[in-house]
């Protein structure tokens, strides 16, 4: 299974309330998509100390379809 990641999306200067993610399947077969969203737990120094998983969804995306993950709310 291929793993595609955006890596960390740092958002220090904006007050983000929600997140939407889209996955497109341009292949000929169905594809399973696992969406995982983490919150960076701050450390005493500069940068995060760890990650905390707060959203995990597994969906099947049919061929030539676009799946939108809406209402993924950011945690404080």
Q: What is the CA radius of gyration of the chain?
A: 15
| pLDDT above 90 (res 62) | yes
Confidence grade of residue 20 (pLDDT, cut at 50, 70, 90): confident
Q: What is the pLDDT of residues 36-54, one digit of tens each?
A: 887 777 777 776 678 788 7
Q: How confident is the model at residue 29 (pLDDT cuts 50, 70, 90)?
A: very high
Q: Which tokens sit at 57?
A: 């969804």
The pTM assigned to this predicted structure is 0.64
Cβ–Cβ < 8 Å for 48, 9: no
Three-state SS string across 41-58, please?
EECCCCCEEEEEEEEEEE
């Amino acid at each position: 299974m291929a793993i595609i990641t955006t890596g960390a999306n740092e958002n220090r200067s904006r007050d983000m309330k929600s997140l939407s993610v889209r996955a497109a399947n341009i292949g000929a077969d169905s594809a399973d998509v696992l969406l995982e969203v983490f919150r960076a737990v701050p450390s005493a120094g500069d940068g995060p100390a760890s990650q905390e998983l707060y959203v995990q969804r597994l969906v099947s995306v049919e061929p030539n379809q676009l799946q939108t993950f809406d209402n993924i709310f950011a945690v404080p």
